[in-house]
Amino acid sequence: MSVANTASQTTAGDRLLGSVQALGRALMLPIAVLPAAGLLLRLGQNDVWGWTHNAYMVANGIPWMAQAGNAIFAQLPLIFGVGIAIGLTSDAGAGAMAGLIGYLVFMGVWNVTIPQVKGAPDPSYNMGVLSGIITGITAAWLYKRFHDIRLPDYLAFFGGKRFVPIVTAFVCVILGLIFGWIWGPIQTGINDLGQGIIGLGPLGAGIYGVLNRLLIPLGLHHVVNSYVWFQLGSFKGPNGLVYGDLNRYFAGDPTAGNYMAGFFPIMMFGLPGAALAMVRRANFPKVAAGILLSAAFCSFLTGVTEPIEFAFIFVAPFLFVIHALLTGLSLIICNLLQIRIGFSFSAGLIDYVINFTKGNSHNAWMIIPLGLIYFAVYYYLFSFCIKIFNIGTPGRGEARTGLSADWILPESQRGPRASKNGKTSVAESSERETDQDTILAGQVLEALGGSANVESVEGCITRLRLFVKEPESIDDARLKALGAAGVIKRGKIAQVVMGTQSDRIAERIKRLMKEDAEVVSD
């Protein structure tokens, strides 16, 4: 095989991985609405407010609040269609409109093409959020292909971005016909896959838990989550047939929650225990505590775990593998103990308290003693490994990591940086009085090789996702000195873990790249 062919195949693989990663990032936008839906639906139930109904509430809860939550769950496919289109087109309004039009047209055609029962679509046929994912991806691709198209003068009004919803509508007519004809065997295959996973019992849940954590560095865990949460298994609820462990749980399925309960001991207890161990083993505990304790509280309260995980994932990959295995074990244990409780977004205290008394939650109280055991396991395991293997976790200092003691902190929270003569310059002092995010974005862009090296950049919860021309031009050491917990490179795809400030940095990098492009064109 020639060198040219090898390079071509590598590039194709990079592009494929980049596309899947981009989809994972885009899925975050529609998933982010789930907490609102879950809270509204749960707070509208009678068992939440029943103790006050004599004085304030009606005996059947708050129907209008429950219906507000139901309205979001009922339209999840549409929300996914629009959200994915937005995420894949860098927040383009025309892309969002195309996603909306594409979904409505697709479902209109699909509902007529599938088998009918008494003049109505067969209710056993249901694509769930997959219909939104398909139309969202289609709309985004068509936007990138046609958003700057030029039509003849007599059709010029319909050119450019106005053309995108039009062409999306016609393409989705064709897709609606195709999927209407072929969906029967596809749905059977998906159901068989789901039944196979469910048939594995606790082991199936454990495998999912391990994969969920192992895919975090690549940002692909949301792709797996989307199948488990929104497609795995079926249940006929009060509002019709629903699919997925999360949807089934909120629809009242007494068997749902098997693939969510096991995350509560990890996120509420295990990772906070790891954070405490890293603080206790730090040579500069105040520096480590500055962010790790707040990250631990974030994990405990909301179930957002990346700020803790990225503090050790790169400096001790074997610890991350152990963390993934412990997560899988937690899901297995919760299945064996028949602990069932779900969440709308992630397994934090908020969802635990709200859903603790839900009718189809079962043995939820066991999360607390199991969680305390996990806290101790994580604390002593991380303490032992950090000490024995001298792992460079946050606050261990320059001697171990080659980084300053406060590298884990955002740039704006660090101590003054000394110049070459050991003093902080006037220019640096005045610079810190301006927008710190813009300053940091400029420094990150420079470390990435400048605007000329960056083809595209997007922000996720805790990382920058990039396509670059020359990966070797990226200065990993400089990025870590700027606060990156790690740099992941595969071919021309790069991810820079900058923590929860990543979205802000990405937007400012885009702005700086646009300014650089305008300067070059002038």
For the chain, domain boundaries: 17-250, 263-397, 433-521
pLDDT tens profile 235-265: 988 878 888 999 999 999 999 999 999 999 9
Give yes or no for a contact between 102 and 139, defined as CB atoms under 8 angstroms apart. Answer: yes
Of 521 and 303, which is predicted with more confidence? 303
What is the percent of the chain with per-residue pLDDT over 70, rounded to a whole number? 85
- Those residues whose C-beta lies under 8 Å from the C-beta of residue 294, and which sit 6 or more positions away, are none
Taking residues 292-316, what's their average pLDDT? 85
CA–CA gap between residue 64 and residue 510 (Å, rounded): 42
Residue 118, pLDDT score:
86
Residue 12, pLDDT score:
63
Point out which residues pair with 457 in neighbouring strands: 466
Set 172, 298, 385, 460: catalytic member: 460
Residue 416, pLDDT score:
43
Q: pLDDT averaged over the chain?
A: 83
Active site residue 460: yes
Residue 426, pLDDT score:
38
pLDDT band at 433 (very low <50, low <70, confident <90, very high): very low
Residue 55, pLDDT score:
46
What count of other Cβ atoms lies within 10 Å of the Cβ of residue 293?
Answer: 15
**CATH 2.40.50.140, domain 433-521, yes or no:** no
Residue 338, pLDDT score:
95
- Among the residue ranges 73-77, 232-236, 491-495, the one predicted with the least confidence is 491-495
Taking residues 218-228, what's their average pLDDT? 82
Q: Say whether pLDDT at 288 is over 70.
A: yes
Q: Say whether pLDDT at 385 is over 60.
A: yes
- Among the residue ranges 55-69, 90-104, 411-425, the one predicted with the least confidence is 411-425
pLDDT band at 36 (very low <50, low <70, confident <90, very high): confident
CA–CA gap between residue 508 and residue 13 (Å, rounded): 29
DSSP class of residue 161 equals: G
HSE at residue 376, side-chain half, CA atoms within 13 A, is 5
Q: Say whether pLDDT at 429 is over 60.
A: no
Give yes or no for a contact between 319 and 393, defined as CB atoms under 8 angstroms apart. Answer: no
